[in-house]
Amino acid sequence: MMVTQVPIIERCDKISPEAWFVFATYTGFAQNELWKHTPAEKIRTKIPQFCRRYPPAAVCQWTYSSMVNRPGQRNPDPSLWPKGLKPPFPNSVGLLHQGSQWWPSSHWWGATSWGNNVGARYEEMLETIRYTGQRAFEEGLTGIEIMGEVSPASPPNELNYLAFEVLLASDAKHGRFRRDAAGEILRGSRACTAICLGGQLG
């Protein structure tokens, strides 16, 4: 990864200093996550070498997914991302797979009748987005992403997209967000009240 990307980033940064150069690790930054794709006998250092070799212009994209909850869980698990745990690269963002086909579903509708498992593709994950955004801010990360592969015509997915506009852009409480965002989609119908009071969407 470093052999091909570092020279490109260094050269392009001189040509276009305002550009963003994002590279992905495909892991979280907790110790049990950093080396999960590496055989134990090949691990020789606590911090990966790329953290020292990539230039400051680079943006490191970590994977938040397994640092906020486990497959099949609906709510965040704070034990997975302890307070004070920061990434070993200064300019860092992170990706969530929750709410996409790349994350196992916690509901029966994750598997279709023809055997095509769509995972959590059509599930809202408001609390996961809220929690991850809060933890990222607390630990000094500069961004959060989700897999935006589904049209906003799907209400659960539109709620996930609205979370970034409404929730992360302010200090709004989760309940207030559910009311405001769901109300925008459902136009103040009784269904909106049922959703907000029911504690979960779907």
Query: Is 70 inside a domain boundary?
Result: yes
Distance (Å) of CA 41 to CA 2, 14, 37, 44, 136 = 21, 39, 12, 8, 32
pLDDT (mean) for 33-46: 84
pLDDT tens digits for range 144-183: 999 888 888 888 888 888 887 776 555 545 555 555 555 5
Query: What's the distance, CA 109 to chain centroid?
Result: 22
Nearest to 172 by CA among 161, 94, 164: 164
Give the pLDDT confidence score for residue 192 in this predicted structure. 44
For the stretch 140-153, pLDDT in tens is 998 899 988 888 88
**In this structure, is residue 21 part of a structural domain?**
yes
Residue 64 lies in a domain: yes
More confident residue, 68 or 193: 68
Give residue 177's pLDDT: 52
Distance CA 182, CA 24 (A): 33
Digit-coded pLDDT (tens) for 118-132:
888 888 888 898 899
| Domain count of the fold of the chain | 1
Residue 181 maps to a domain: no
158 within some domain: no
14 in any annotated domain:
yes
Task: Please state, in angstroms and rounded to a whole number, the distance separating the CA atoms of residues 129 and 177.
Answer: 12
What is the pLDDT, as a whole number, of residue 130? Answer: 86
The pLDDT assigned to 158 comes to 87
The residue-averaged pLDDT of 27-44 equals 86
The model's pTM: 0.79
User: Has residue 24 been placed in a domain?
Assistant: yes
Domain coverage including residue 108: 2-150
DSSP-assigned beta bridge partners for residue 24:
61
Of 44-48, 67-71, 102-106, 193-197, give the lowest mean pLDDT range.
193-197
| Residue among 8, 43, 38 at smallest CA distance from 25 | 38
Residue 139 within a domain: yes
Question: What is the band of 34 on the pLDDT scale with cuts at 50, 70, 90?
Answer: confident
